[in-house]
């Protein structure tokens, strides 16, 4: 199949590959470094069709409400006025892909909440998404479920996903494989790039 037609309607959404999770913070996810080479390969292959999401904590605790207030009270060092702003940035290995890759910021787990990402992807003719990044059982989960709800075909390269807790990472991968098998394609980076 010619490359152009194989990739038609395809975009790569890379979730929250930021210093917040790569560095030694309260949210450090050691697996991020392990899966980074696979994500680099995807971003290189699909540079013009890659969207990086960034999770952006509030500037102050007073900006939060409800359960999000409880969340940030648990990790007050991760609130903007106490947080090194550089940690919001993409990890250096991926930052150089922007542009042509694009960045969408979000203040909640789901990148779909504001509607901007969905509008952008639809305007670009996107109907299929490769989802990579982390965390598998939090922001990736919100990305995947929202994409399914919006009608996107979702492709998950398992070796390009990270979590911070092995038990929940493994459990959610099992859920992806067996509960959503008609709406998700589970693969790995090698097969995806070769396909």
Q: Confidence band (pLDDT; 50, 70, 90) for 80? A: confident
Q: Considering only residues 172 and 105, tell me which one the structure prediction assigns the higher pLDDT.
A: 105
Q: Confidence band (pLDDT; 50, 70, 90) for 2? A: very low
The answer to whether the beta carbons of residues 54 and 139 sit under 8 Å apart is no
Q: For residue 5, is pLDDT > 70?
A: no
How do residues 30-48 score in pLDDT, each as one tens digit? 999 999 999 999 999 999 9
The answer to whether the beta carbons of residues 50 and 101 sit under 8 Å apart is yes
Q: Against a cut of 0.85, is the pTM above it? A: yes
Domains of the chain are 3-57+90-194 (3.40.50.850)
Tell me the C-alpha to C-alpha distance, in Å, between residue 124 and each of 26, 69, 114, 121.
Answer: 37, 36, 18, 5
| 99 upstream amide cis, omega within 30 of 0 | yes
Q: Considering only residues 88 and 169, tell me which one the structure prediction assigns the higher pLDDT.
A: 88
How do residues 148-158 score in pLDDT, each as one tens digit? 999 999 999 99
What share of the chain in percent tops pLDDT 90?
A: 78
What pLDDT does 4 receive?
A: 52
In eight-state DSSP terms, residue 7 is T
How do residues 85-135 score in pLDDT, each as one tens digit? 899 999 999 999 999 999 999 999 999 999 999 999 999 999 999 999 999
């Amino acid at each position: 199949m010619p490359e152009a037609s194989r990739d038609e309607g395809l975009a790569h959404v890379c979730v929250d590959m930021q210093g917040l999770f790569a560095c030694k913070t309260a949210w450090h996810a050691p697996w991020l470094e392990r899966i980074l080479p696979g994500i680099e390969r995807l971003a290189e292959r699909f540079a013009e069709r890659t969207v990086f999401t960034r999770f952006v904590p509030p500037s102050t605790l007073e900006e939060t409400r409800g359960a999000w207030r409880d969340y940030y009270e648990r990790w007050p060092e991760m609130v903007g006025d106490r947080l090194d702003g550089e940690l919001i940035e993409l990890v250096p290995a991926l930052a150089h892909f922007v542009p042509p890759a694009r960045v969408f910021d979000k203040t909640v787990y789901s990148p779909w909440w504001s509607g901007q990402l969905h509008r952008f992807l639809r305007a670009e003719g996107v109907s299929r998404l490769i989802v990579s990044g982390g965390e598998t059982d939090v922001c990736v989960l919100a990305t995947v479920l929202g994409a399914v709800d919006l009608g996107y075909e979702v492709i998950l390269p398992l070796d390009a996903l990270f979590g911070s807790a092995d038990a929940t990472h493994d459990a959610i991968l099992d859920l992806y494989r067996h509960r959503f098998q008609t709406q998700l394609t589970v693969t790995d980076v090698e097969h995806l790039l070769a396909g």
